[in-house]
Chain A
Amino acid sequence: MIAFKNEWLLFRRSRLGLVMILLLAALAIASVVAGLVEVDRQRAAIERIHPLQKQDVSAIANWVTKTGTAGDAAYFTFHETWDPPSRLAFAALGMRDVSPYLLRVRALGLESQLYDSENYNPELALPGRFDYAFVLVYLAPLFVIALFHDLISGEREAGRLRMLEATPGAGRRLWVRRIGLRYLLLVASLALPLVAGGIVAGAHLQGIAAMVGLTAAYMAFWVLVAWLIGRLNIGSAASAASMAAAWLLLTLVLPALAHVAITRAVPVNQGVELSLAHRDAVHGAWDIPQEKTMAEFFRYHPEWSDTPPTDGTFHWKWYLAFHHVADRSVAPQAQSYRQGLLERDELTRWVGAVLPAVGVQAAFTRLAGTDIQAQLTYQDRIRAYHTRLRTFYYPYLFNDRPFTEADFAKAPVFAPG
């Protein structure tokens, strides 16, 4: 205990170490605050959309009810869907700033709506992701380097190593104490802001504990790297350079190479391409004989097959039908897009088993519910909701029922997970 107190005194007096710890704590605090602010902003954006939605709907209802045309209602009414951030999302914003967490959909073809997110939150794609996971994965190892590169070599270079070695009790225990103290300070400067952020966000204890555990494990990995390099006995400057090289390799170069390899191994069309294919299908539908489109539609919805046929002029039921047929026509592509994303995710998990930087980043976004899985889950919810939405309008269209003011209120409401 007294020896540990002495180590603390020694550490405290060497200004550089203390400054490093405080700097890391400041970065951790800044990242947690930035994460909380961003999550708050997302929540507020979601909150804001509810009243807007009501206004929109009542504006549309005002003139649609004059004619009672269900097709107008289906065409013009946007229905809100949203994916509220999890309570741990502040720690790892993940894909949330580039992929939508708010999407207003119409009963028209879904696929082109899904990938039109850029129209929706364009500003969100701009700022980099400065979150806790970023500070931990990329910046914290640099602090390990700063604190550990001269742990032993610094003593040798100062000529103190002999004095230390001559002192009984200065063996392994001394280094365990020194390493342990620095390690604890590093983990504390990261974990305390994280825990505080978790409490502010009202996150579950297990989730926070898992993130703290990941933090401790990741820091332990880097301390181990530093210790192994320190054992090479190559002097402080060479140690620092080697550790910086290890950092560059393990957090930047190898993950980037792995990323390239994965994108090569699993080619995935961009969502935009899917969106374009869908639009082509929709536009092409105008040139296809209506009976052909309707026959195709009835394959998916036989329950409407004995309703009166269309007469070659415009009818909303035909319009919605060809939108759905367009969705179906790109379904295999949508499926393979989704499959590709999952395969990449799976491969990334394998890479993460070897590269801690990748693994920890992935584990954080998983815990925070901001990973690709969470994104696809939201998409699934949108799809399910969209089906309910379409089938809500079909009876009005196929039975030629007028769409009244009261019917607007009957439209299905999205339920977030």
Chain B
Amino acid sequence: MTYHEPSGLPLLIANLVVDYGAHRVLNGLDLSIRPGEIYALLGGNGAGKSTTLAAIMGFVPPASGEVRVCGVAPGSAPVQARRAIAYLPENVALYEHLTARENIQYFLGISSERRTNAEIEAAFNAAGLQEDAFNRRVAGFSKGMRQKVAIALALLRHVPLVLLDEPTSGLDPRATQDFNRLLGGLRERGSAVLMVTHDLLSAADTADRIGFLDAGRIVQESVAEGPDRYDVRALHRHFARPVAA
């Protein structure tokens, strides 16, 4: 039986189940994101948000269910899938003895991508990294500065799907604002963004949809509507007391 993808959607997850040993982390997760859409994934610690991203990257194999990145299953064709993904991990780690710019060049070089200095600097600026840090070694960087370098890297990879694991952790309010603006740029470019975050305000400001992950599936989803976009109070209530499974 031939199976045709309903679409080349940037991300399509259907009934995904992921186990760590005997521990079922994801249990029938459904999630799909359109091009140019920003999706904020919320949930308590240990809810399985990072695991969701890991499954999309093909780092963990699904016990059952489907993951498709632009129609490609990362489980069976991880390299091909990863070509379509920019991934900002939860814990950013860079090469300490390289400068910010060299780090970007190094990681882009691995995937044979080249960007001009002007493009790299534009990405740094968009991520809010101060100019005097561009050519400094990362070893002297603060957590937020490192985060900005990694965000710039994700930004520089022109791909259909951007996965961000707590991108604003370590960012000051000003940098968070910069980051929110940057998401707008990604939307305009047509990239789909899946952003895991604990920052409710940032999510409400930027996301087209917000999903709550609990007990291994999305238990509630809100869509931005009208000028106020979301009822943040309601979101907060939900976030603070997630529905028990």
Give residues in A with beta carbon < 8 Å to B: 2-3, 5-6, 9-10, 13-15, 158-160, 162-171, 174
B7 on the interface (CB 8 Å rule)?
A: no
The answer to whether A167 and B93 touch across the interface, beta carbons within 8 angstroms, is: no
With A162-B59, A166-B57 known to touch, is A6 a contact of B109 (CB < 8 Å)?
Answer: yes
The answer to whether A166 and B89 touch across the interface, beta carbons within 8 angstroms, is: yes
B187 on the interface (CB 8 Å rule)?
A: no
The answer to whether B89 and A2 touch across the interface, beta carbons within 8 angstroms, is: no
From A3, A160, A165, contact of B109 by CB (8 A)? A3
What is the CB-to-nearest-CB distance from A150 to chain B, in angstroms, rounded to a whole number? 14
With A158-B93, A159-B93, A162-B59 known to touch, is A167 a contact of B111 (CB < 8 Å)?
Answer: yes
With A160-B94, A162-B59 known to touch, is A174 a contact of B87 (CB < 8 Å)?
Answer: no
B79 on the interface (CB 8 Å rule)?
A: yes
With A14-B97, A159-B91, A160-B94 known to touch, is A166 a contact of B110 (CB < 8 Å)?
Answer: no
Chain A residues with CB below 8 A from B114, complex form: 2
Chain B residues with CB below 8 A from A168, complex form: 79, 82-83, 110-111
Chain A residues with CB below 8 A from B89, complex form: 162-163, 166
Q: Which of A5, A9, A14, A15 has the largest number of chain B CB atoms within 10 A? A: A9
Give residues in B with beta carbon < 8 Å to A: 57, 59, 79, 82-83, 85, 87, 89, 91-98, 102, 105-107, 109-112, 114, 150
Q: List 23 A-B contacts (CB under 8 A).
A: A2-B112, A3-B112, A6-B106, A9-B98, A10-B95, A10-B98, A13-B95, A158-B96, A159-B91, A159-B93, A160-B93, A160-B95, A163-B92, A163-B93, A163-B107, A165-B59, A166-B57, A166-B87, A166-B89, A167-B107, A167-B111, A168-B82, A168-B110
The answer to whether A13 and B98 touch across the interface, beta carbons within 8 angstroms, is: yes
The answer to whether A3 and B110 touch across the interface, beta carbons within 8 angstroms, is: yes
What is the CB-to-nearest-CB distance from B185 to chain A, in angstroms, rounded to a whole number? 21
What is the CB-to-nearest-CB distance from B211 to chain A, in angstroms, rounded to a whole number? 22
Please, how many angstroms separate the alpha-carbon atoms of A26 and B105 in the complex?
Answer: 32
From A3, A9, A158, A167, contact of B82 by CB (8 A)? A167
What is the CB-to-nearest-CB distance from B51 to chain A, in angstroms, rounded to a whole number? 13
What is the CB-to-nearest-CB distance from B88 to chain A, in angstroms, rounded to a whole number? 9
With A6-B105, A9-B102 known to touch, is A167 a contact of B110 (CB < 8 Å)?
Answer: yes
Chain A residues with CB below 8 A from B102, complex form: 9, 13
Please, how many angstroms separate the alpha-carbon atoms of A13 and B95 in the complex?
Answer: 10
CB-based nearest A residue for B86 = A166
Please, how many angstroms separate the alpha-carbon atoms of A45 and B107 in the complex?
Answer: 60
Chain A residues with CB below 8 A from B57, complex form: 165-166
Extra contacts, 12 of them, besides A164-B110, A167-B107, A168-B110 (Cβ < 8 A), are: A9-B106, A10-B98, A10-B106, A13-B102, A160-B94, A163-B93, A165-B57, A165-B59, A166-B87, A167-B82, A167-B111, A169-B111
